[in-house]
Amino acid sequence: MNGAILGDIAGSRFEFTRPTHFNWKTVPLFGGTSTFTDDTVLTIATKYAVLNGLPYARAYGLFGRKYITVGYGPMFLNWLHAYSEKGYGSYGNGSAMRVSFIGEYFDTLGEVEREAERSAACTHNHPEGIKAAKATAAAVYMARTGASKKEIAGYLHRVYKYTVHKPLALYRPTGKFDVTAMGTMPLAIRCFLESEDWESCIRNVFSVRCDTDTVGCIAGGIAGAFYGGTGLDEDALLRRFLIKPNEGDVFDTFLYEWATKAPTKETAV
């Protein structure tokens, strides 16, 4: 899950603009404008739901309204303001970016896919939204349980019909901002498959014009599970980016505390 959160934060500053002479191979992973977005908030909300036995919709509403200015799409914002707990037919990539903890926590692939579907259905109940959540959680589960890249790619292609063999070299000339699950998932999968470690996975994301925070979150979550972490001082980075002053100028530690909370099986959904 840390790989997903830090992938979101790393990608946040390149979502809409890039500096002159941008070099994806050497640019610092984090900079002055790096910040957590809705991807991080809802990733942590998923963990909160699982560990507290809370419906996913309830947790997403709680976290979403607590952190309302972090970049949600208009449909999700309407869902938050309506206090809804029903899906609105979205096929956006939001269902996939928040499920990494499910892939880490549950014990079997079947459980992981069932929980991922439940987590998606309260908002992204379009078949493509459901599929993206299940595929991402499955990839994280397979990555952390010892599957090879070939096995992960084969499963995502065979079961979820995602294009996994198109190289990043063919994405780079035509990359564009795309928030659909269909446009995001093949790219995120490929960024992981062509990586050598977590950092190179995120640099692969930087190399393509895209929805960088969300692609970074999805790919970073899979890579973190596969490589056994990010290779960075994760706690220091989580403290740096998740603990921020709230409206009363008091440091808000809520996201950090739940991001780092040790899970226990007794409180599973």
Using one digit for the tens of pLDDT, what is the confidence trace for 32-75? Answer: 899 999 999 999 999 999 999 999 999 999 999 999 999 999 99
Question: How much is the pLDDT for 269?
Answer: 41
Phi, psi torsion values for 70, nearest 5 degrees: -100, 15
Whole-structure pTM value: 0.96
Distance CA 16, CA 2 (A): 23
The least confident of 16-25, 136-145, 163-172, 182-191 is 16-25
Domains of the chain plus CATH, in order, are 2-15+37-267 (1.10.4080.10)
Question: 141 falls in which pLDDT band (50, 70, 90)?
Answer: very high
Angle at 76 between CA 75 and CA 80, to 5 degrees: 120
The C-alpha atoms of residue 121 and residue 85 are separated, in whole angstroms, by 9
Asked if pLDDT for residue 216 goes beyond 60, the answer is: yes
Residue 13 vs residues 130, 210, 211, 224, 269: alpha-carbon distances, Å: 28, 12, 11, 20, 35
Residue 209's Cβ-side half-sphere holds a number of Cα atoms within 13 Å equal to 10
Compute CA 126 distance to the chain's CA centroid, rounded to the nearest angstrom.
18
- Structure confidence at residue 267 (pLDDT): 44
- Find the helix packing angle between 212-227 and 198-206, rounded to 10°: 160
Percent of the chain scoring above 70 in pLDDT: 98
Alpha-carbon distance 126 to 148, whole Å? 30
| 244 three-state secondary structure | strand
